[in-house]
Amino acid sequence: MSVRTSRPLIRISGLHYTYQEDDQRPIHALNGIDLVIHEGEYVAIIGANGSGKSTLLKHFNALLLPTQGDVVVLKWNTRDPEVLRNIRSTVGMVFQSPDTQIIATVVEEDVAFGPENLGIPEEELGERVEQALELVGLKHLRKRPSHMLSEGQKQLLAIASALSMKPRCLAFDESTAMLDPGARRRFIDTMSRLHQQGIAIVTATHNMDEAALAQRVVVLSEGIVAVHGPPSEVFTQKKLLTDLKLEVPTSMRLAERIGTYIPGFPQDLLTVPELVNTVDSYLGQRRSSLI
């Protein structure tokens, strides 16, 4: 399942960021973040509103530059304007509202826009567009005007357009927040398919069920990393989560309730299918022992 290697892809050290608008109080959004995103890793970033998730993500591909500290993508420091292109084609970004990042009027033109600007030769360009549309499942809509797509389809288009840059990492900022449950399921499937292909996935989300699917969960609080680790470690720290205005995935809430009736019932069940399996094996055991 894991294609994670220990090779660092994005190295963040001592990152501080302060929003300073004229006549306004400065807002210290990030207050010293040290974090490494590895090649091929699947990371979820969670934290209360205002904890710094979006600000952090925007540093991944130099949409924001550190007030203090450094962000290095492969060997490129985001402060170096000479390597901006390399950075942007290594780390792609997908936001909550796809309308803010769809540029072209036709689906396939939007997907071609990025690599075309890089001067990719026409033949390869065609291949890249083809592959990207295939991966997100939008091939049948390639000639469709982009404003005539559904919300979910627009979100997939935003991914395809990021993918055509052949990134090694895709960062998603609350990308599923406005999707209906079906579109959300397809979106999550797409993310895990991309992960299988070796692309590192970093997703900032308020949905704990979604975060539980990642290999590693990073919890932000007031601009610092409060804790990070595999979901099974992070989500068992219930007190900490509550203090940070977060909660456990729904499956764990259900497991907890079941545990009050069936002592010893496992609590670290991160998804509903896992929960179903565990209940099944408990009931199965019980049945056979009675026969």
Partner 1 sequence: MTEPDIPVIEVRDLFHTYLAGTALEVDSLRGVHLKVYPNEAVGIIGPTGSGKSTLLHHLNGLIRPMKGDVLIKGTSIFQWGEHIKEVRMKVGLVFQNPERQLFEQFAGDDVAFGPRNMGFEPEQVRVRVKEAMEMVGLPFLYKDRLTSQLSLGEKRRLALAGVLAMDPQVLVLDEPTASLDPSGRRTLLSILTQWRTLGDRAMVIASHNMEDIVELADRVFVLANGKVILSSSTGDVFSHYDVLIQNGLAVPAVLELLHGLKKRGYPVSLDILTAQEAAKAIKGLYDA
| Tokens found for residue 67 | 């007030």
DSSP string, 60-106: HTTSS--SEEEEEETTEETT-GGGHHHHHHHEEEE-S-GGGT--SSB
| Tokens found for residue 177 | 């927040």
Residue placing its CB nearer to partner 1 in the complex, 66 or 152: 152
Run of H or E residues at 58: helix 53-60
Least distance CB 291 / partner 1 (angstroms): 13
Residue placing its CB nearer to partner 1 in the complex, 47 or 167: 47
Least distance CB 185 / partner 1 (angstroms): 8
**Site for partner 1, rule CB under 8 A:** 24-25, 47-50, 96, 148, 150-152, 174, 177-185, 206, 208-209, 242, 245-247, 250-251, 253-254, 257-258, 260-262, 272-273, 275-276, 279-280, 282-283, 286
Least distance CB 115 / partner 1 (angstroms): 29
Rounded CA-CA distance 165/120 in Å is: 10
289: Cβ contacts below 8 Å, ≥ 6 apart? none
206: Cβ contacts below 8 Å, ≥ 6 apart? 46, 49, 174, 177
Least distance CB 125 / partner 1 (angstroms): 30
Residue placing its CB nearer to partner 1 in the complex, 103 or 148: 148
Contact in structure between 160 and 102 (CB atoms under 8 Å): no
Contact in structure between 153 and 140 (CB atoms under 8 Å): no
Residue placing its CB nearer to partner 1 in the complex, 185 or 193: 185
Rounded CA-CA distance 222/280 in Å is: 41
Q: What region, left, alpha or beta, does residue 26 occupy, with left being phi > 0 and alpha being psi -120 to 50 degrees?
A: beta
Least distance CB 48 / partner 1 (angstroms): 4
Least distance CB 262 / partner 1 (angstroms): 6
Least distance CB 157 / partner 1 (angstroms): 14
Residue placing its CB nearer to partner 1 in the complex, 118 or 272: 272
Residue placing its CB nearer to partner 1 in the complex, 20 or 197: 20
Residue placing its CB nearer to partner 1 in the complex, 8 or 137: 137
**Long-range Cβ pairs for the range 72-76 (8 Å, 24+):** 72/10, 72/11, 72/12, 72/13, 73/9, 73/10, 74/9, 74/168
